[in-house]
Amino acid sequence: MAGRPRVALLVTCLADTLFPDVGKASVAVLERLGCEVVFPAAQTCCGQAHINTGYQRDALPLVRGFVETFEGFDAVVAPSGSCVGSVRHQHAIVARRFGDEALAQRAEGLAARTYELSEYLVDVLGVTDVGASYPHTVTYHPTCHSLRMLGVGDKPLALLRAVHGLQLVELPAAEECCGFGGTFAVKNADTSTAMLADKMSAVLTTGAEVCAASDSSCLMHIGGGLSRLKTGVRTVHLAEILASTDDVPAGVA
Amino acid sequence: MSVAPQERGKGAPQERGKRAPQERGKVVPQGRTLLPVVVHAPRGVGHLRGDESFPDAARGALADTQLRRNLGHATATIRDKRAKVVGEVDDWEALRTAGKAIKDHTMARLPELLTQLEANVTAAGGVVHWARDATEANQIVTRLVAETGSREVVKVKSMATQEIALNEALADAGIEAFETDLAELIVQLGDDKPSHILVPAIHKNRAEIRELFARTLPGVDPELTDDPAALAGAARQHLRERFLTAKVGISGANFAVADTGTLSVVESEGNGRMCLTLPETLITVMGIEKLVPTWQDLEVFLQLLPRSSTGERMNPYTSLWTGVHEGDGPQSFHLVLLDNGRTAVLADEAGRETLNCIRCSACLNVCPVYERAGGHAYGSVYPGPIGAILSPQLTGIEDNASLPYASTLCGACYEVCPVKIDIPSILVHLRAEHVEAQRETRRVPTAEAISMAAASWTMADASRWEKAQTASRAGRLLGRRRDKDAGRIRSLPGPLAAWTAARDAPRPPAETFRQWWARDRGADT
């Protein structure tokens, strides 16, 4: 790649508001690998929660805002499989539902340059060893949208395996949904909780001290359950693990 | 409960039965309307609507520990079998693509292909009947059975006849229907409802089935054990008499071939073969979407279906029949083509591929929601992911409004679907249809609609969004006095209480990401 790659960070509304360390960690990893990271301050939300709850009409201004904010960049990177999934598979559908073909085409063009963090690191930068150090036992939940909407495959695992000091333990039934599902967690709270119980039980059987994933929303769900039950297992975003070094360990930055 | 057809502005079926053939050969008959009127499956008949919403129905199922164990065990077993036999087919993805292409093509030409099927079935000696809805189909079948003089029928497992509640309609006319599929028999003997497309009694374990047989089967061995072979033997003994005496068989169809007029039933137990060949009269009720254009197309589906469905390389019995043959099999064959809302599905470009479904039930077996809540929670004979998109489209979304939300959109269903139905996208589409319908019909918007609109307004502008983020940091104060864990909130108010019932919530940080960026990196970009 010629010159220094310039990356626009889509931090996601959730990480911006509740998990800023995930955004900071994404910046740290990308900069360590030589990228120029830009944070377009006009960004707010990709509209996924609106779209997946049926409010496509209300999502339309958010889709338009996303396109206008980011279309000047060659690459957009987000630390979220589901937000990238929404950009890639839903934005054009929303625009077309309300007859805005021009917006739909712009959205499709931008979607092709929007990457989930592990995709960008492995596919675009061609890196699996990002120079991280994280001396902990970790199990990884692959998250449904990363896995099935984006098809990131084992890219996150390849990144984790290259982390110095990290002991990766396989999560049983890893590909099964944790039960978050956005507003599903509230609308169908009982079923969501039943799914969460099984996911937590799988996490606990690994003996890992950390459950990692690439989506703050799923981690908020799994972590909320693990902490409620005082399991002593914490949830950490993949970006935070990749940002962690011997000099600046995760959680200290 | 039941709504007579006259009340719904339609004539009696007897009159329609006498209509000229050229008038009948259309999905939406010409002359009935010039505009694409959406006609859903009528209320008050059939099994497409539940008594309670999905979350309410699921609550009870989730608390039933025996049910949870039965479902967990059974779905895991079928899931593993399917994965194994699918994994050994090198061109599985190509087969899925072919299956989708054939079905897409079929739906695009459905009226024409149905007319072709009618002509070929008729030419081979069968009689074709067109049923606009469940009420008409039940009336047609009841009349046909009554005309034979028989008071009992044997049935092959069929989703279409479950959908229209044919057994109940026949019972009202004094005709007894005997289900001959083992799982369907279990459901019938227990006065239960099916909870799975392929394995209707999946919610029962063998000890429960032994108890049911011991209680309900006449002349059963009191020493009957819960050994599967012994249970099957008891059912076989009970059914054999029915097969040999029944004058009328009723079936559904897995496929109909337009260019030959051939019908097909795919099954495992051989009960279907007996129902299809022993009685004098055979009546087949088939949804209008169960069509393939040519004989050759069966090649694709007969590979896709058994591996996706039972996890077998090939099912034990594949029956194919074309009209009637003197001295061989039923001498009278009737095909009832059922619409019951399917034309409405066909009319919706975004939902249309739902009709591609071949009822394999692979999506049920991989669905984490189905595995925990079970089939009854869906309220319809079509449960699981496919039911969550099919039932609301057949009935109109207002009658099954909770079903499109009964999914985390995890996508496991799409991954296994043998005809590549993008179920998550259709769920999202139906949610949008529901919200739009509410927007049009409600004078006062729901609280959810108001909060979604407010969030949209706020998030459409970054400075408004930043102010809202600042306000939300008031959440830092929540619960602090009671909880020494300063990073977590244990109780939230309003609808979010459903979150904190089982999960802690993160306490908002002292600084948002964008505040950090502005502070750390100086200027905005």
What SS3 string covers B260-293?
CCEEEEEECCCHHHHHHHCCCEEEEEEECCCEEC
User: What pLDDT, on the 0 to 100 scale, is given for residue B212?
Assistant: 96
For an interface test with B, the pick among A10, A11, A18 (most B C-beta atoms closer than 10 Å) comes out as A18
Record the tokens describing residue B69, joined without a space: 């164990």
Instruction: Report helix, strand or coil for A37.
Output: strand
Contact between B453 and A180 using a beta-carbon 8 Å cutoff? no
Assigned architecture for domain A137-243: 3-Layer(aba) Sandwich (3.40)
Among candidates B408, B459, B525 on the partner chain, residue whose Cβ is nearest the Cβ of A179: B408
Record the tokens describing residue B479, joined without a space: 């619960």
Among candidates A175, A190, A223 on the partner chain, residue whose Cβ is nearest the Cβ of B55: A190
Among candidates B369, B434, B499 on the partner chain, residue whose Cβ is nearest the Cβ of A191: B369
Least confident segment among B34-38, B223-227, B388-392: B34-38
Q: How many CA atoms lie within 13 A of B372 on its CB side?
A: 27
Contact between A55 and B435 using a beta-carbon 8 Å cutoff? yes
CA distance B282 to B269: 19
With a cut of 50, say whether residue B6 has pLDDT above it: no
Running along chain A, 253 residues long, what does each successive block of 10 average in pLDDT?
87 97 98 97 97 98 98 97 98 98 98 98 98 98 97 97 98 98 97 98 98 98 97 97 93 51
Instruction: Report helix, strand or coil for B485.
Output: coil
CA distance B348 to B342: 10
Among candidates A20, A144, A180 on the partner chain, residue whose Cβ is nearest the Cβ of B513: A20
B62 at interface of A, judged by CB pairs closer than 8 A: yes
| B5-19+41-342 CATH | 3.40.50.10420
User: What pLDDT, on the 0 to 100 scale, is given for residue A248?
Assistant: 87
Q: What is the mean pLDDT of chain B?
A: 91
Q: How many Å is the maximal CA-CA distance in chain B?
A: 91
With a cut of 70, say whether residue B261 has pLDDT above it: yes
CA distance A19 to A102: 34
Rounded to 10 deg, the angle between the A56-70 and B447-459 helix axes is: 10
B189-214 mean pLDDT? 94
Of B115, B136, B154, nearest in space to B23 by CA:
B115
Residues 6+ apart with CB under 8 A from B177: B152, B153, B154, B155, B166, B167, B170, B171, B250
User: What pLDDT, on the 0 to 100 scale, is given for residue B96?
Assistant: 98
The residue with greater pLDDT, B3 or A22, is A22
Q: Which residue is it, tokens 């918007």?
A: B445
User: What pLDDT, on the 0 to 100 scale, is given for residue B482?
Assistant: 53
With a CB-CB cutoff of 8 Å, which residues 83-122 of chain B face chain A?
none
B19-33 mean pLDDT? 42
Q: How many A/B residue pairs have CB atoms within 8 Å?
A: 206
pTM (predicted TM-score)? 0.93
Contacts of B452 in chain A (CB under 8 A): 50, 53, 55, 58
Contact between A54 and B431 using a beta-carbon 8 Å cutoff? yes
Contact between B452 and A50 using a beta-carbon 8 Å cutoff? yes
User: What pLDDT, on the 0 to 100 scale, is given for residue B522?
Assistant: 77
B483-489 mean pLDDT? 70
Q: What is the DSSP string of B297-339?
A: GHHHHHHHHHHHHTS-SS-SEEEEEES-BTTBS-SEEEEEEE-
Least confident segment among A30-34, B32-36, B398-402: B32-36
User: What pLDDT, on the 0 to 100 scale, is given for residue B487?
Assistant: 75
Among candidates A177, A190, A228 on the partner chain, residue whose Cβ is nearest the Cβ of B62: A190
Kindly identify which residue of chain B lies nearest to residue A15, measuring between CA atoms: B513
CB B256 within 8 A of CB B117: yes
Contact between A45 and B499 using a beta-carbon 8 Å cutoff? no
Of B195, B271, B203, B193, nearest in space to B232 by CA:
B271
Kindly identify which residue of chain A lies nearest to residue B437, measuring between CA atoms: A54
Record the tokens describing residue A133, joined without a space: 């150090």
Among candidates A56, A58, A184 on the partner chain, residue whose Cβ is nearest the Cβ of B453: A58
B290-313 mean pLDDT? 97
User: What pLDDT, on the 0 to 100 scale, is given for residue B19?
Assistant: 40
Can you give the residue ranges of every domain in chain B? Answer: 5-19+41-342, 462-521
Q: Which residue is it, tokens 């309670």?
A: B52
Share of chain B above pLDDT 70, in %: 90
With cut-offs at 50, 70 and 90, classify the pLDDT of residue B483: low
Contact between B55 and A224 using a beta-carbon 8 Å cutoff? no
CA distance A77 to A64: 18
Contact between B503 and A196 using a beta-carbon 8 Å cutoff? yes
Q: What is the ipTM of this complex?
A: 0.97
User: What pLDDT, on the 0 to 100 scale, is given for residue B478?
Assistant: 65
Contact between A55 and B452 using a beta-carbon 8 Å cutoff? yes
